[in-house]
Each structure stands twice: as C-alpha cells, then as structure tokens.
C-alpha cells in the first residue's frame, strides 16, 4: 500500500515539475515576444526620425506653407500643460488615495466611491475631452485654451492616481504602523514618516503612468486645447491655444500642406517617444536611489 502511495506521489510530483517548466517557458516566450514587438516599434520610430532632429527643429516655429518648420511651440505647450495638470492632480489624487486607504470607514459608501473611481479610470479619454469642451467652451466661453486642456488632463489623471496610491498604501504591512504607534507617533505622523516612504515606489509608479499618459494624450487636447498654438516659443499665457506635440503630429500627418509633412511627422514621433522615455526615467530616479 505504501509502495503504491509512493508511486502515485512520485508521478504527481513529476507531473507538477513538467507543468511548472511548461508554464515557465510559455511565460518567458510571451515576455520575449512582447519585448520584441516593443523594441521593433521603438527601432522603427527612432530610426526614421532620430537622424533628422536638430536644435532648430526643437525650438523652431512651425510653418503652414514652407518646408523646414519646427515644433517649438507645440513641444513647449506639451510640457507646460503637463506641469499644470500634474500640479493639480498629484495633491488631490494622492490625498484621495491616502484618505480611502487610511481614514475612510469600511462601509457601502466607501465601496461605492471605490467603484466610481475604478469606473472613471476606465472611461475613454475622449469623454473627459467632451466634458472639458462643454465646461470651458460652452459654459465659461473661454475657448480652446491651455488652462482648459490642463484641467481636463488633471481630471483624466485623478482616478489613476487615487487608485494606485490607495493600493500602494494598503500594501504596506500593518506591523510598520503598529511599531510607529508603539513609539508614540500619531496617525498623521505615521502616515507621513512611515507609510508614505514605504509606499513611495508604488506612488511614483502611478505618477509616472499618469504623466506619460497625459504627455501623449491627444483626444482631450484636441477638444479642449485646440490644434494650434499662439505661434510664440515661450508663451506662458494660460488662455492661449494649447495644441501639443501629439496633436501636431496628427495634424501634420493628416491635414498639413507642407512638402516635408511626412519628415516632420517622423521626427515629431521620435521626439515624442524620447520625451516619454526621459519623463518616465526622471520620475523613477528616487526609486533607483532608494533601492541603491
């Protein structure tokens, strides 16, 4: 009887080992395929546009008729709108996540709020664009502006930041909180000095996702910010038109009349990819320093 049990256990162990190796190879194959596709896309975009990028192209003014125009105002608007949107959304989003994770009571109302936040996080960006258009163009009648685009982008980022922050804080072990309380710290001091530093990696990951998505967003900007700029390189007027680099890329590719529209589109796409990579790396620098 014991021999039969031993053989059965041996066969089951061998089967589990084979299944484990199979799923490991399958997952590695999927990862390699995804990385290969991403690498191929990056190589194609950068190889077509990287060689033609120059300082005059980055800070030059665009041209509607003559070839050789730059992307200066649109690149500046992209950074300007992003900074304003993140200044608005980061404090509110992180504060909301902290409240839901640490202060909100565990009842039906809190669950309903979490459901609403998750639902808003999955809403298409064009819905936020339509809301921004109605709010700023129809109600306030200020037209297509930088401030309207920034506020609409901040509304787009809020659900993501709130949910990611809440999950990062909930993942912090309760032992850290109890140790802080045992030393006489208050709840607010524990959150600021213990919980947030322990959850900073997840919070910064959420900020990176939200900022990179906002920088590459086009539907919201198209409806609330417009397709053009003021025509000046360093225009800080919040009520100027807020066309950004992704919108300019779409416009050049589909509507522009200049002869080198395809070359401008290729170079703009390369700049957009490089800026997103730089932005993501810059935000994750604190995580790398903490781990090191």
The tens digit of pLDDT for each residue in 82-117 reads: 999 999 999 999 999 999 999 988 889 889 998 999
State residue 165's pLDDT score: 94
Helices (H), 99-142: 108-121, 125-132
- 206 shares its domain with 121: yes
d(CA 37, CA 33): 6
> 226's torsion region: left (phi>0), alpha (psi -120 to 50) or beta?
left
Task: Report which secondary-structure segment, H or E, holds 135.
Answer: none
Residues 93 and 45 in one domain: no
Name residue, tokens 């298409």.
124
26 plus 80 within the same structural domain:
no
Q: Are residues 139 and 19 in the same domain?
A: no
The domain of 45 spans 2-52
State the average pLDDT for the chain.
89
Shared-domain flag, residues 192 and 174: yes
What pLDDT is attached to residue 253? Answer: 82
Among 195, 165, 203, 192, residue whose Cα is nearest residue 177: 195
- Please tell me the pTM assigned to this model: 0.88
Distance CA 20, CA 14 (A): 10
**What whole-number distance in Å separates Cα of residue 66 and Cα of residue 20?**
62
pLDDT at 259 (0 to 100): 82
Cβ proximity of 233 and 172 under 8 Å: no
At 7, the pLDDT band (50, 70, 90 cuts) reads: low
The answer to whether residues 199 and 147 belong to one domain is yes
Q: Which residues, other chains included, contact 245 with Cβ-Cβ below 8 Å and sequence gap of 6+? A: 71, 74, 75, 77, 78, 268, 271, 272, 275
* Virtual torsion, Cα 144, 147, 153, 158, nearest 10 deg: -140
Q: Locate 183 and state its tokens.
A: 């030393």
What span, in angstroms and rounded, lies between the C-alpha atoms of 132 and 225? 9
CATH of the domain at 87: 1.10.3720.10
Residue 8 pLDDT level (bands cut at 50, 70, 90): low
96 and 84 within one domain = yes
Is the same domain home to 128 and 164?
yes
pLDDT above 60: residue 30: yes
DSSP 231-291: S-TT---TTS----HHHHHHHHHHT--STTHHHHHHHHHHHHHHHHHHHHHHHTHHHHHHH
pLDDT of residue 261: 83
The per-residue pLDDT for 287 is: 77
Asked if 153 and 187 sit in the same domain, the reply is: yes
Q: Please give the share of the chain, as a percent, with pLDDT higher than 90.
A: 49
Q: Give the chain's domain count.
A: 2
CA torsion through residues 233, 237, 239, 245, sign: positive
Residues 97 and 19 both lie in one domain: no
- Do 126 and 227 belong together in one domain? yes
């Amino acid at each position: 009887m014991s021999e039969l049990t031993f053989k059965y256990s041996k066969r089951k162990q061998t089967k589990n080992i084979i299944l484990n190796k199979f799923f490991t190879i399958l997952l590695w194959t999927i990862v390699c395929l995804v990385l290969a596709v991403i690498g191929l896309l990056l190589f194609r975009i950068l190889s077509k546009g990287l060689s033609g990028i120059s300082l005059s192209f980055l800070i030059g003014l665009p041209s509607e008729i003559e070839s050789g125009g730059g992307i200066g105002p649109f690149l500046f608007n992209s950074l300007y709108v992003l900074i304003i949107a993140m200044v608005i959304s980061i404090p509110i989003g992180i504060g909301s996540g902290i409240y839901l994770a640490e202060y909100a009571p565990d009842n039906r109302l809190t669950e309903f709020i979490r459901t609403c936040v998750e639902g808003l996080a999955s809403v298409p960006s064009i819905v936020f664009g339509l809301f921004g258009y109605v709010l700023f163009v129809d109600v306030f009648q200020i037209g297509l502006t930088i401030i309207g685009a920034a506020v609409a982008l901040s509304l787009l980022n809020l659900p993501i930041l709130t949910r990611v922050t809440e999950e990062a804080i909930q993942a912090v072990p309760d032992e850290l909180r109890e140790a802080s309380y045992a030393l006489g710290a208050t709840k607010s001091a524990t959150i600021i000095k213990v919980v947030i530093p322990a959850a900073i990696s997840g919070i910064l990951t959420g900020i990176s996702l939200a900022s990179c998505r906002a920088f590459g967003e086009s539907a919201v900007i198209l409806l609330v910010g417009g397709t053009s700029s003021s025509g000046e390189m360093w225009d800080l007027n919040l009520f100027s038109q807020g066309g950004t680099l992704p919108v300019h890329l779409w416009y050049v590719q589909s509507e522009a009349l200049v002869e080198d529209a395809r070359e401008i589109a290729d170079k703009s796409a390369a700049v957009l990819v490089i800026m997103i990579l730089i932005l993501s790396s810059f935000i994750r620098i604190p995580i790398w320093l903490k781990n090191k």
